[in-house]
């Protein structure tokens, strides 16, 4: 391997090699009229008083996995945080921390994947930064992205709007991303077709919010899975309980099978393209019908309802009992996203 096939410490010193790295590796893929200025900050246009901002660091291991890679994840993850907040994602700022010795071909592949994801989600990268640290001071590449968007017109979401009788809807089968990453890391003997569900949610959430008024609140189901997300929502209200119906929770057959073998609960596994909706009871059935028939979310389902209560999440199990769900605790699977 030639010296110039890998990231060197000098690529991060702000001098000539940093300049070349940006010119040769970032701009050809990510360049646009706003980014090309290469100034200390970028001027963006927001035609709204309601601007939404989110930030996330992506440290997923491995950096390439079935269904995606760290670059794609870093765009869709941030797009999704804005989407479930009712915003139209517009701009992304991206910062890279690279390990000395990282192959430039890998960086190129990740940046190209980010560019493709930006196209798919219709967002622009408007600001960036690159740092390089020594070997074993970071594991290959970490990416932090900030998303900026504007609230969709007429949309008003918030967990404070959730009321008893509201229905809980999930957009599709749970657990695929988390299980996919876990299977990549472990030394398992069986072959599977499980892929990450990594996808941009603005493509389905925008038409959904334009069509229905009864959506109260949404969250994407990343770290901690559906169970942790619902427990957080219930706890923060304190005056509601959430009652889930296990039988109605969509999980792919293969995911369910492997989870049973490995003793995992898909309700606690991360997803990167699934979300939960709290919606008015009266609209919930037509909402699910729309999701299934018009948005291509064939397994979208009503999985539970809100009751008066004191911050708990209960699940009616398939065998007829009821169990209480808590936040994920212990047995962590680190670096899932």
CA angle 28, 30, 204 (to 5 degrees): 140
Residue from the set 4, 32, 57, 310 that interacts with its own copies by CB under 8 A: 57
Full DSSP string of 312-323 = -EEEE-TTS-EE
Helix (H) or strand (E) holding 291: helix 281-293
Choice between 249 and 270, CB closer to its own copies: 270
Residue among 242, 229, 247 nearest 313 (CA): 242
Alpha-carbon distances of 124 from 21, 42, 57, 68, 147, rounded to whole Å: 20, 12, 18, 19, 10
Work out the angle between the directed axes of helices 104-121 and 70-84 (0-180°, nearest 10): 30
Closer to its own copies at the Cβ: 136 or 189? Answer: 136
The verdict on 206 binding its own copies (CB under 8 A) reads no
Binding segment toward its own copies, per CB under 8 A, in 68-76, 181-189, 246-254, 323-331: 323-331
Shortest spacing between CB 289 and its own copies, in angstroms = 26
Residues near 318 by beta carbon (within 8 Å), at least 6 away in sequence: 246, 247
Among residue numbers 285 through 314, which ones bind its own copies (CB under 8 A)? Answer: none
Site for its own copies in 16-55 (CB under 8 A): 16-19, 38-47, 49-55
Contacts of its own copies in 215-274 (CB under 8 A): 219-220, 222-224, 228, 232, 236, 268, 270
Instruction: Give 146's strand partners.
Output: 55, 93
Copy the structure tokens of residue 150.
Answer: 């504007």
Of the pair 28, 257, the CB lying nearest its own copies is at: 28
**Binding-residue total with its own copies (CB under 8 A):** 86
Measured from the CB of residue 253, what is the shortest distance to its own copies in angstroms? Answer: 26
**Chain center to CA of 91:** 16
Least distance from C-beta 94 to its own copies, angstroms?
7
**Cis preceding linkage at 62, omega within 30:** yes
DSSP 214-280: -EEEEEE--TTHHHHHHHHHHHHHSSEEEEEEGGGS---HHHHHHHHHHT--GGGS--SS-EEEEE-
CB of 186 to its own copies, least distance (A): 15
Residue 321 or 334 having the CB closest to its own copies: 334
Out of 68, 71, 147, 173, point to the residue binding its own copies (CB under 8 A). 147
Residues 78-137 that bind its own copies (CB under 8 A): 80-82, 84-85, 87, 91, 93-97, 100, 126-129, 131-134, 136-137
- Choice between 10 and 184, CB closer to its own copies: 10
Cβ closest to its own copies, residue 50 vs residue 109: 50
Q: How far is the CB of 173 from its own copies (least distance, A)?
A: 19
How far is the C-alpha of 85 from the C-alpha of 88, rounded, in Å? 9
């Amino acid at each position: 391997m030639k010296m110039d096939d890998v990231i060197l410490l000098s690529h991060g010193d702000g001098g000539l090699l940093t300049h070349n790295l940006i010119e040769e590796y970032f701009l050809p893929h990510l360049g646009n009229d706003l980014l090309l200025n290469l100034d200390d900050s970028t001027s963006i246009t927001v035609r709204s008083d309601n601007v939404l901002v989110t930030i996330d660091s992506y440290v997923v291991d491995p950096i390439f996995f079935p269904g995606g890679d760290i670059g794609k994840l870093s765009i869709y993850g941030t797009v999704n945080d804005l989407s479930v907040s009712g915003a139209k994602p517009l701009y992304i700022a991206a910062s890279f921390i690279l390990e000395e010795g990282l192959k430039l071909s890998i960086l190129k592949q990740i940046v190209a994947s980010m560019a493709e994801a930006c196209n798919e989600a219709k967002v622009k990268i408007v600001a960036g930064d690159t740092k390089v640290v020594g070997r074993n001071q970071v594991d290959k590449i970490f990416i932090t992205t900030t998303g900026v968007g504007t609230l969709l017109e007429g949309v008003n979401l918030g967990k404070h709007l959730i009321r008893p009788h509201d229905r809980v809807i999930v957009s599709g089968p749970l657990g695929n991303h988390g299980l996919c990453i876990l299977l990549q890391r472990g030394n398992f003997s069986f072959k599977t077709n499980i892929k990450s569900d990594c996808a941009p949610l603005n493509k389905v959430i925008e038409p959904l919010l334009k069509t229905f008024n009864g959506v109260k609140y949404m969250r994407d189901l990343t770290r901690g899975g559906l169970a942790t997300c619902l427990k957080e929502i219930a706890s923060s209200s304190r005056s509601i309980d959430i009652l889930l119906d296990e039988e109605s929770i969509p999980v792919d057959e293969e995911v369910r099978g492997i989870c049973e073998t490995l003793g995992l609960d898909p309700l606690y596994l991360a997803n990167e393209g699934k979300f939960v909706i709290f919606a008015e009871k009266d609209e919930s059935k037509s909402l699910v019908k729309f999701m299934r028939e018009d948005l291509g979310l064939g397994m979208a389902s009503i999985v539970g309802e809100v009751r008066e209560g004191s911050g708990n999440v209960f699940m009616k199990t398939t065998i007829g009992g009821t169990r209480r769900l808590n936040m994920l605790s212990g047995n962590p699977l680190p670096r899932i996203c």
